[in-house]
Amino acid sequence: MTKIKRIGIMTGGGDCPGSNAVIRAVAKRAMFEHEWEVFGIEDGYEGMIKGRFRKLAASDVSGILTLGGTILGTSNTSDPYAYIVKRGKGTVSRDVSAQVIRNVRAKGLDALVLIGGDGTLHTAAHLSEAGLRIVGVPKTIDNDLGGTDLTFGFDTAVSVATEAVDRLHTTAQSHHRIMIVEVMGRRAGWIALYAGVAGGGDIILIPEIPYTLEAIAAKIHFRRMCGKKFSIVVIAEGAKPKGGEVVVKKRVETSADPIRLGGVGFVLGDQLERLTGQEARCVVLGHLQRGGSPTAADRILATQLGAEAVRLIANGEFGRMIAVRGGGISSVPLDVPAMGPRLVPLDHPLIVAARSVGTSFGDE
């Protein structure tokens, strides 16, 4: 087994509250327990492609536990296996993975901790097969990564969304309106489900349960009959009507995953106004859910994941992703997240509980 002397750490994909807490945990354990040198890789795979590595001192990772974003920067448009470069007036896609491997070896990085979502970890799995020693740390506010029961950032996103639902509740009540809160969640409705339940949303719409306008209008009508003149709808950006499609806001052609969702709440608001005759307003929370300081739960989880990543490297266990499974911290093969998203099961206990207290999921 090669003796580890120097490691690299990178954050890739969309940023996520708690990323700095992971960086801090990795760097501190590596420096203090093993006396390894730690290099930060700037702006995700972009920095690996361009060789932008900077040595981290203990002071660089001190005081960042509570900080949102990532001190290393990130990118979700630089895929080493399909790197977009300018050619003439257009662009072409190139495989620059060999350059990444060369840069890592030239810098003498014996192992890498790559913190990212499905895209980053999918690429990491390929680089691992190509010979780099990699440990992955799962990261997404959407909480939909396969192989792990929980991702850091999710708890913070749920807290932000819940506070928004709480605030919109009072204004909805004053104006007797339908208030729609659109939250992130392209493929899975974890944020909508948790924030919807925590904020007492009357209707929760998630990608896993296609809705009908009639079912939503019926719930609003029923509430009015019961003297409740307002209704709160919490909708995931990836929710769609039965037999319908998601609402696409734009395409980012330079991204490996070019579709950006957004706006389904506005579409639904117009439809509900027409159908119910009641005024509707929509708020899209967007990147607010990804910003700011992580919650206590996320700081704790991020610290555990980062510390565990270093333990795996010290043990020579590469090609693995740290995971939360059955309440404990363990690891799974690095290619597991690429096998598909972790969706909300239709019989999830929280769905069952929410239905039992009268919450509608727009399906019945």
Q: Looking at the annotation, which residues are catalytic? A: 142
Could you give the 3-state DSSP secondary structure of residue 318? Answer: coil
Tell me the closest approach of the beta carbon of residue 144 to ligand F6P, in angstroms.
8
Given the complex with ligand F6P, which of 140 and 156 has the nearer CB atom? Answer: 140
Output the DSSP codes for 279-346: -EEEEE-GGGGG-SPPPHHHHHHHHHHHHHHHHHHHHT--SEEEEEETTEEEEEETTGGGG---PPPT
What is the C-alpha to C-alpha distance for residues 159 and 191, in angstroms, rounded to an integer? 9
Nearest residue to the partner ligand F6P, using Cβ: 184
Task: Name the site residues for ligand F6P (rule: CB under 6 A).
Answer: 14, 76, 117, 140-142, 184-186, 237, 260-261, 290
Q: For residue 117, what is the DSSP state?
A: -
φ, ψ for residue 149 (rounded to 5)? -80, -15
CB-nearer residue toward ligand F6P: 28 or 122: 122
Tell me 198's DSSP state: H
Considering beta carbons, is residue 141 or 161 the nearer one to ligand F6P? Answer: 141
Smallest separation (angstroms) from ligand F6P to the CB of 115: 14
User: 76 vs 360, which CB is nearer to ligand F6P?
Assistant: 76
Give Cβ neighbours of residue 94 (< 8 Å, ≥ 6 apart): 82, 83, 84, 85
Strands 53-55 and 83-87: unpaired
Instruction: Work out how close the CB of 237 gets to ligand F6P at its nearest, in angstroms, rounded to a whole number.
Output: 6
Question: Least CB distance from residue 156 to ligand F6P, whole Å?
Answer: 12
Nearest to 140 by CA among 201, 76, 235: 76
Q: Token pair of 184, please?
A: 């992130």
Query: Given the complex with ligand F6P, which of 176 and 260 has the nearer CB atom?
Result: 260
> Closer to ligand F6P at the Cβ: 288 or 329?
288
* Minimum distance of ligand F6P from residue 259's CB (angstroms): 8
Q: Taking Cα atoms as reference points, which of 178, 208, 215 lies closest to residue 191?
A: 208
Six-digit token pair at 333? 């093969």
What does the DSSP assignment read for 3-42? PP-EEEEEE-SS--TTHHHHHHHHHHIIIIIH--EEEEET
The least distance separating ligand F6P from the CB of residue 257, rounded to whole angstroms, comes to 8
